[in-house]
Amino acid sequence: MKRVPYLNTVEAYKRHGSVNPLSVIMSPSGRDRNDLKVVSPKKLFRCFLYLFLFIFMALLIIGLSFLSEDQGGYYSIFSEDMEFYEGADLHDKGRQSAEAEAITEPIILWWTPLTGERGRYKTCGSVSCYFTVDRHYWHHPQTEVFVFYGSDFKVNDLPLPKKSHHQWALLHEESPKNNYIFSHADALEIFNYTSTFRRQSDFPLVTQALESLEWLESQKYVISNSEKNKLLGDLAPVMYTHSDCNPPSDRDTYVSILMKHLDVDSYGTCLHNRDLPDNLKDPIAGMGHKDFYQLVAKYKFSLALENAICTDYITEKLWRPLMAGSVPIVYGSLQIRDLLPDNHSAILIEDFDSPEDLSWYLKFLLENDEEYEKYLHWKKTGVTNPVLKKLMKERVWQTSESFNYVQVNFIDAFECFLCQKVQHNRRRRKQGLETVTYQATYEHYGCPKPNSFDRNGRIREFSSWDYEYGYAKYVAKAVKQLISEGRVFKKDEIEALASQYRREDK
Ligand SMILES: *[C@@H]1O[C@H](CO)[C@@H](O)[C@H](O)[C@H]1NC(C)=O
Ligand SMILES: *[C@@H]1O[C@H](CO)[C@@H](O)[C@H](O)[C@H]1NC(C)=O
């Protein structure tokens, strides 16, 4: 088996990227320098030719891989590189010695090695559990929970057969774009516990991108409406800063139509028409930079359009303009109204027939200062929405953006949530009481089928992501069926059963 650079893998996972450990750059074989002494022109020409061909092929391959990444959501349902997953078990103990270890607390095993934790006890309130990413503990008698990170979940790499004392947990705060399988009930139903952006999940991360209410209410960057009016000659009234183009929400189509009716400054790569100042060009450092907040604050309106439309999927695209005092124009969570800071703090595109219709309303606000200013009144009074206040008050974790670690991050918090549930059931079992059962349902994540916009900007029931969405549905059904039969299965079996379901559906 190939050795995997453990630390790098873990570091990469911590940054939520997937990593291919086989792509380690090999050091070039030690050629003798004397080889290069005499080079004939013919040889030189051939060298250049090869070099040219090589670069051409490399560019072609890179180009193709980008293309397939953009469209091939469903490929990620399967693990292509099984060797990586075997390699993920990097403990040097070996399976037998891990299984014989005298661990008395429940073992919570990250099947997708999100945390990189090789194995340790962690205290969660009055109880503790043993957390690890080491698959050598798979068959340890104390192993109770297998945790999966949604974007890395592969249907052909599961701890099978699922034993009756095994519980599966899903952490998936990301959009369905990263794994369409969780848009379907059958996929959710194989889990006992969930932590997703949705309120209905067991450990909800609805406010995953909101640092705090104080941050949201901050006036630090807010400039007055009269200052914004003065800037209008130089800046468009609306700002757009998206760089993930053509996602399932089809937001770029909507904005391109809006642009025909009203000026929009687009700084991202999608519909780009204006460059960011040099100090903001680095997309990672740039978006959380104070200069970026200052730029957002100069705009009367900011387009806050998510890459996918799911209940409670809300990112910094909404919170950032609210914080900076630019009125957000929102397309995102289906129940966004009950999470906005105030009833009059944002403009929802669902309230307008079309982008043209929206543009009329925005023009009206541009000409009526008093009406525009009503949208920012809440910045003076503070958040009025009791639902949002309650959510933030009860939250026991902090966003990863925050460097003020008074509370833990949501990954650690979810681990403790699992530990407490498992320990609670252990106590009940000892006392001869019935244990509590947990069963995830569609509502724990469940995003509807993606739509797109027609050429007038009206929603239509078609999406270039229909294939990914549809295919994932049959795969989910097949996987759930195979698990319930107590089977150990491979990719071909899933594919065969999924195709059968698809045929039967037609
Ligand atoms: C916001 O509007 C909803 C109904 O649309 C209403 O029930 C609620 O009381 C309002 N909240 C505030 C703070 O005005
Ligand atoms: C976990 O889910 C399975 C079915 O999906 C169920 O049979 C089992 O009782 C659940 N376990 C717990 C502890 O809730």
Q: Are 270 and 243 in contact (CB under 8 A)?
A: yes
251 shares a domain with 179:
no
- For the chain, state the CA radius of gyration: 26
- 3-state SS, residue 249: coil
188 shares a domain with 88:
yes
Q: Cβ contacts of residue 74 below 8 Å, gap of 6+?
A: 180, 467, 468, 471, 472, 475
128 shares a domain with 229:
no
Structure token pair of residue 328? 């957000």
> What's the angle, vertex CA 484, arms to CA 79 and CA 191, rounded to 5?
65
Q: Cβ contacts of residue 221 below 8 Å, gap of 6+?
A: 290, 293, 294, 296, 297, 323, 324, 325
281 shares a domain with 347:
yes
Tell me whether residue 460 is in a domain: yes
Domain that holds residue 106: 83-207+409-505
Structure token pair of residue 364? 């009206």
- 3-state SS, residue 65: helix
d(CA 13, CA 95): 23
153 shares a domain with 96:
yes
CATH code where residue 312 lies = 3.40.50.11660
Is it the case that residue 220 has pLDDT exceeding 90? yes
Pocket lining: 434 vs ligand 2, CB cutoff 6 Å: no
Q: Are 252 and 241 in contact (CB under 8 A)?
A: no
Q: Go through the chain and tell me how many residues it has.
A: 506
Instruction: Place 45 in a pLDDT band, splitting at 50, 70 and 90.
Output: low
Return the residue whose CA atom lies nearest to atom 10 of ligand 1: 343
Return the residue whose CA atom lies nearest to atom 9 of ligand 2: 437
Which is the closest atom of ligand 2 to the Cα of 425?
13
Tell me whether residue 403 is in a domain: no
Q: Are 83 and 24 in contact (CB under 8 A)?
A: no
- Global pTM? 0.83
Q: Are 313 and 332 in contact (CB under 8 A)?
A: yes
Last residue of a domain, one of 359, 393, 427: 393
Return the residue whose CA atom lies nearest to atom 11 of ligand 1: 343
pLDDT reported for residue 29: 29
The CA 370 to ligand 1 mean position distance, Å, reads 21
Instruction: Place 95 in a pLDDT band, splitting at 50, 70 and 90.
Output: confident
Return the residue whose CA atom lies nearest to atom 7 of ligand 2: 164
Name the strand (E) or helix (H) holding 373: helix 369-374
Return the residue whose CA atom lies nearest to atom 3 of ligand 1: 343
> Each residue of 147-176: pLDDT tens digit?
999 999 999 999 999 999 999 999 999 999
pLDDT reported for residue 477: 97
Considering every ligand atom shown, identify the ligand nearest to the alpha carbon of residue 341 and give its number: 1
> Each residue of 379-395: pLDDT tens digit?
999 999 999 999 999 99
347 shares a domain with 269:
yes
Pocket lining: 273 vs ligand 2, CB cutoff 6 Å: no
SS (H, E, C) 34-49: HHHCCCCHHHHHHHHH
Q: Are 369 and 229 in contact (CB under 8 A)?
A: yes
377 shares a domain with 276:
yes
* Nearest CA among 181, 310, 328, 157 for reference residue 241: 328
Tell me whether residue 366 is in a domain: yes
Q: Are 127 and 423 in contact (CB under 8 A)?
A: yes
Structure token pair of residue 255? 């904005």
Ligand 1-lining residues (CB < 6 angstroms)? 343, 384
Ligand 2 pocket test: pick from 162, 425, 437 the residue with the most ligand atoms within 8 Å of its Cβ: 437
Strands (E), 95-228: 107-110, 120-124, 127-132, 143-149, 167-172, 193-196
Return the residue whose CA atom lies nearest to atom 2 of ligand 1: 343
The CA 435 to ligand 2 mean position distance, Å, reads 10
Tell me whether residue 480 is in a domain: yes
Tell me whether residue 67 is in a domain: no
The CA 167 to ligand 2 mean position distance, Å, reads 6
Q: Cβ contacts of residue 485 below 8 Å, gap of 6+?
A: none
Tell me whether residue 232 is in a domain: yes
The CA 192 to ligand 2 mean position distance, Å, reads 6
Is it the case that residue 443 has pLDDT exceeding 90? yes
Ligand 2 pocket test: pick from 158, 167, 425, 429 the residue with the most ligand atoms within 8 Å of its Cβ: 167
d(CA 330, CA 339): 12
The CA 194 to ligand 2 mean position distance, Å, reads 13
Return the residue whose CA atom lies nearest to atom 1 of ligand 1: 343
Ligand 2 pocket test: pick from 192, 425, 428, 482 the residue with the most ligand atoms within 8 Å of its Cβ: 192
421 shares a domain with 344:
no
222 shares a domain with 368:
yes
> Each residue of 453-497: pLDDT tens digit?
999 999 999 999 999 999 999 999 999 999 999 999 999 999 999
> Higher-confidence residue: 406 or 320?
320
Pocket lining: 456 vs ligand 2, CB cutoff 6 Å: no
379 burial via Cβ count (<10 Å: 0-12, 13-18, 19+): buried
- 3-state SS, residue 418: helix
Last residue of a domain, one of 326, 358, 393: 393
Pocket lining: 439 vs ligand 2, CB cutoff 6 Å: yes
- Mean pLDDT, residues 397-413: 74
* Nearest CA among 163, 165, 171, 164 for reference residue 111: 171
Q: CA torsion, points 256, 262, 265, 269, in degrees to nearest 10?
A: 0
What DSSP state is assigned to residue 465?
T
Which residues are registered as beta bridge partners of 108? 131, 145
Instruction: Place 398 in a pLDDT band, splitting at 50, 70 and 90.
Output: confident
459 shares a domain with 388:
no
Strand 452-453 vs strand 459-460: parallel, antiparallel, or unpaired?
Answer: antiparallel
d(CA 166, CA 143): 7
Which residues are registered as beta bridge partners of 397? 408
Q: Are 216 and 322 in contact (CB under 8 A)?
A: yes
381 shares a domain with 305:
yes
Ligand 1 pocket test: pick from 338, 343, 388 the residue with the most ligand atoms within 8 Å of its Cβ: 343
Which is the closest atom of ligand 2 to the Cα of 439?
2
Which residues are registered as beta bridge partners of 452? 460
Instruction: Place 408 in a pLDDT band, splitting at 50, 70 and 90.
Output: confident
C-alpha distance across the termini of the chain, in Å: 44
pLDDT reported for residue 94: 81
Count of domains in the chain?
2
Amino acid (1-letter code) at residue 470: G
d(CA 89, CA 161): 19
Considering every ligand atom shown, identify the ligand nearest to the alpha carbon of residue 194 and give its number: 2
305 shares a domain with 156:
no
Tell me whether residue 97 is in a domain: yes
Instruction: Place 91 in a pLDDT band, splitting at 50, 70 and 90.
Output: low
> Each residue of 286-343: pLDDT tens digit?
666 788 999 999 999 999 999 999 999 999 999 999 999 999 999 999 999 999 999 9
- Mean pLDDT, residues 89-102: 79
Tell me whether residue 21 is in a domain: no
Which is the closest atom of ligand 2 to the Cα of 189?
5
Return the residue whose CA atom lies nearest to atom 1 of ligand 2: 192
Last residue of a domain, one of 327, 358, 393: 393
d(CA 269, CA 244): 8
Name the strand (E) or helix (H) holding 265: strand 264-266
Is it the case that residue 25 has pLDDT exceeding 50? no
Pocket lining: 194 vs ligand 2, CB cutoff 6 Å: no
pLDDT above 90 coverage of the chain, percent: 72
